[in-house]
Structure 1
Amino acid sequence: MDTRLSHQISLPLLPTRRDSKGFGVCALPSRRLRSAAVVATAGASRCDPGSSLNAPLEPRSAQGRFLSSVLQNKRQLFHFAAADELKQLADDRESAVSRKLLSSGSDEACLHRRIAQLKEHYSQIAVQDIMYMLIFYKFSEIRVPLVPKLSRCIYNGRLEIWPSKDWELESIHSIDALELIKEHVSAVIGLRVNSSVTDNWATTQIQKLHLGRVYTASILYGYFLKSATLRHQLECSLSDLQINQQRPIQFPKGPVFGCSFPTSTPQAFENRELKHLRHYISGFNPETLQRCAKPRSEEARNLIEKQSIALFGQEKGDEVVVTSFSSLKRLVLEAVAFGTFLWDTEEYVDGVYKLKENDNAEEEEESSSI
């Protein structure tokens, strides 16, 4: 499998709620609306998402169900509703922690400590639902429905996903990144990059368990591509600035966009080849590659796992399905896009609701090695 990683273009920032006078204030009384919201029902029992929110992962929290309803019934208010829900979660968690600290040493200390623990647990579920709905919204912007549970797409042992949506899923990436993504798709599904239409509709056999691992690895691939691209753009900008001003520039120390800088220097960018994403990434050492492919937060890591389980199920056996290369390509391209949108969503949410740092690298290492 091609282990090189690539990038995605930046997505517009979502609106944020700051204060009663600042820009981006959410005037939507989401808690009152939530109680009156009508949660949409699932689509038809087949592999056709239709117009409903037929995503494989169903929201478990009131916040997730509320945003699902807003997205269908009041789409223009979705970003404001999401910002308001995040702010409410952050405020509630902060209040619970404050009460726990204030009650320290009192008879109520044990009670408030337990309340804070329960609040943290509930907030984890709610914020993951919000992140998932934000990702779902990004897919809806490019008119790509998420593939529903694969059990709905398998008939007599054959898996078929339609429509393919290749163009839409590729349109979110830069030219440099798309070149690497096509190579990744070719490597993991065993089809050459410039395949014909006939080749795409040819059939192959694949273990469902292996397909799930490929999907997870492709999410991490897309996640890395976004991080690597932003770092590449930043280094190129700093290099161009130094050349224009003819004076040295100090590169930032420590993590930038979730990764520390590699050993490349501004002078290295005088070589035009290093201006290309492919050559830039080829200069990463193994440690940098691993660090950049690892989700920065526990919430993002959990969301990747939950999405994969919801899509493929919990089967541990060696079930084999017959499918077309077109369907395999659809799944891999969706996974790469999911990773791209996850990076953007994680960055936005962390600015409103502080996410937990991800200290568990074992799963990412295993997935990245597929």
Structure 2
Amino acid sequence: MDCCFLRHSNPTPTAFTVSSPYPPPSFRKPLPFSTKTVLDFPKNPLLARRATSGLSIRPRRVFSIIASAGASHCEPSSSLNSPLEPRSQPGRFLSSVLQNHRQLFHIAVADELKLLADVRDGAVSRMRLSAGSDEACLHRRVALLREQECQLAVEDVMYMLIFYKFSEIKVPLVPRLSRCIYNGRLEIWPSRDWELESIHSLEVLEMVKEHVTTVSGLRADSSVTDHWATTKIPRLKLSQAYTASILYGYFLKSASLRHHLEQGLALVNQDNLGRRTPLQFQEMCPYGLKNLLFGRVSNVQSMSYSQGSTNQEMKRQTLKCYVKEFDPATLQRCAKLKSKEAVNLIESHCCALFGDEKVNVIENNELIFTSFSSLKRLALEAVAFGSFLWDAEEYIDSVYKLEDN
């Protein structure tokens, strides 16, 4: 069991960059409230430290997102109307901050991650110090429990970061399907197709549209009548298509960043590639070669090149053609989720969305009548979810070391 904790060393400070999708506290204003205002939390080391920070979550300005489907048959499943309710105290805390103090959300996220890292690493340190003593077994058990609690809390933090990204483009997550089905028919309205497509670059959007056509059967040039035509699909198959779309969005994020890097490398000294020195190559990779090649940096800043290298001198390869040339190992590397927390979150979200309301398990495989427009909405949301998941996972791992998948 010791080996499961060895990966958690004391975290070292990580340099934040302005390009991070989730800005750190150093780029934001100080907390504008009194340190005298505290919350009466249960006796828990994580909650106690949060309470002493002086952050009040008493309602001031309510930020609500309501998703509608059909004739407003979808009812809220939580305060944020998301399929998956927060399962930990940090998750519920961030949910309240997002609703009542949206401008402080990123500060609260950074603080929660640091608290979770301290709690987990502190328990592991005590376990190691007690090795060989009479209390070794007790500290080992405590460290395991803290590990499980922190993992669940980090999954909630990851989910709230994804929810925040959806709220930025003013797109609500589809609630539980059981609350959106009326008289055996599922309708999701408004579709929000334009907003969900706006987060992608033109090259990525081209591949997203092809994927959506494959999943929903709805072509880009389909008429309004085609959009509202009805079809039927088993619930389990719909869940599998949604999950596959999340993974596809995650893959496109990783592949597009890798493509961007290789395009930049090809432009530098393209006439003297054979004579490039290790020092020059290292200067091109200030974040580290492994991190950049395999999608570990959320944004790669544009670089200045020599005057002799121009875009006209190089035939630019499209992302679609670039991905088609992937060998099996590279394809798996870009498509594989980096952390166990991301794997668990996708499973929990999909079970909450498609499963039974009480047990969150897809027990029946009933046929669902729905429109092609609603299928397209689900596919676009899932692709966006995967892209946002990549960003959230990348940011969290810079503060709280995630478990490798």
CA change 1:188–1:204 in 2 (3 A) is same
Change (3 A) 1:175 1:259: closer
Change (3 A) 1:144 1:41: closer
**1:176 CA displacement:** 0.5
**1:244-292 deviation digits (Å, cap 9, x = unpaired):** 88753658765645469xxxxxxxx976252x11111111012221221
Q: Tell me what 2:9 maps to.
A: none
Contact 1:139-1:146 within 8 A present in 2 as well = yes
Percent identity reads: 61
**Correspondence for 1:361:** none
Residues 190, 347 of structure 1: CA spacing in aligned structure 2 closer, same or farther, 3 A cutoff?
Answer: same
Equivalent residue for 1:233, pick from 257, 260, 266: 260
Q: Which has the higher contact order (CA 8 A, sep 6+)?
A: 1
* 1:150 maps to 2:193: no
**Residues 119 and 270 of structure 1: CA distance in aligned 2, closer, same or farther (over 3 Å):** farther
Indicate the SS of the match to 2:269. helix
Cα distance in 2, alignment partners of residues 236 and 115 from structure 1: 49
CA positional deviation for 1:101? 0.9
TM-score where L is the length of structure 1 = 0.83
**Which residue matches 1:107?**
134
Aligned to 2:390: 343
> Does the Cα contact within 8 Å between 1:37 and 1:70 map onto a contact in 2?
no
Unaligned runs of 5+ in 2: 1-17, 36-48, 297-311, 356-360
Aligned equivalents of 1:24 and 1:352: distance in 2?
A: 17
Q: Among 306, 315, 336, which residue is 1:294 paired with?
A: 336
Work out whether residues 16 and 25 of structure 1, in 8 Å CA contact, stay in contact via their aligned partners in 2. Answer: no
Instruction: Verify the 8 A CA contact 1:40 1:68 in the aligned structure 2.
Output: no
SS in 2 for 1:237: helix
Match of 1:134 in 2: 161
Match of 2:24 among 16, 37, 41: 16
Deviation at 1:63, TM superposition (A): 0.3
Corresponding residue of 2:348: 306
Cα 1:323–1:191 shift into 2, 3 Å: same
SS in 2 for 1:272: coil
Aligned residue identity for 2:231 = T
Which residue identity does 1:283 align to in structure 2? E
168, 182, 185: which one aligns with 2:212: 185
- Give the superposition deviation at 1:241: 1.7
Residue of structure 1 equivalent to 2:315: 272
* Counterparts of 2:63 and 2:200, CA distance in 1: 31
Query: What residue is the counterpart of 1:266 in the other structure?
Result: none
Per-residue displacement from partner, 1:219-252 (whole Å, max 9, x unpaired)? Answer: 0000000000000000111111223887536587
Q: Which secondary structure does the structure 1 equivalent of 2:268 belong to?
A: helix
CA RMSD of aligned residues (A): 3.1
8 Å CA contact retained: 1:15, 1:83: no
Q: Distance in 2 between matches of 1:219 and 1:117?
A: 30
Tell me: CA distance 1:310–1:270, structure 2 relative to 1, closer, same or farther (3 Å). farther
| Residue identity matched to 1:84 | D
Distance 1:181 1:279, change over 3 A: same
Q: Is the 8 A contact 2:236 2:362 kept in 1?
A: yes
Q: Does 1:322 align with 2:369?
A: yes
Within a 5 Å distance, the mapping from 1:37-56 to structure 2 comes to 37=58, 46-47=73-74, 52-56=79-83
Cα distance change on mapping 1:43 and 1:174 into 2, 3 Å: closer
Q: In the alignment, which residue of structure 1 is the partner of 2:192?
A: 165
Deviation at 1:25, TM superposition (A): 9.1
Structure ID, larger Rg: 2
Aligned residues: 337
Which 10-residue stretch deviates more, 29-38 or 310-319? 29-38
Measured after TM superposition, the shift of residue 318 of structure 1 is 2.8
Residues 50/126 of structure 1: CA separation in 2 closer, same or farther (3 Å cut):
closer
Other-structure match for 2:225: 198
In the alignment, the residues of structure 1 paired with residue 335 and residue 158 of structure 2 have an alpha-carbon distance, to the nearest angstrom, of 19
Deviation, structure 1 residue 78: 0.3
Instruction: Using the TM superposition, give the Cα deviation of residue 87 of structure 1 relative to its aligned residue in structure 2, in angstroms.
Output: 0.4
Deviation readout 1:324-349 (Å, 9 max, x if unpaired) = 11100000000000000000000000
Q: 1:257 to 1:116 in 2, by over 3 A?
A: farther
Is this contact kept in 1: 2:73–2:181, CA < 8 A? no
What amino acid is the match of 2:50?
R
Q: Distance in 1 between the 2:313 and 2:149 partners?
A: 51
Contact between 1:54 and 1:148, CA under 8 Å: does it hold in 2? yes
Contact 2:113–2:400 (8 Å) recurs in 1: yes
Kindly provide the amino acid, as one letter, of the partner of residue 124 in structure 1: Q
TM-score (norm 2): 0.76
Matched, 1:283 2:325: yes
TM-superposed CA distance for 1:48, in Å, is 6.2
Query: After alignment, is 307-316 or 83-92 more displaced?
Result: 307-316
Task: Tell me the distance in 2 between the aligned counterparts of 1:197 and 1:318.
Answer: 29
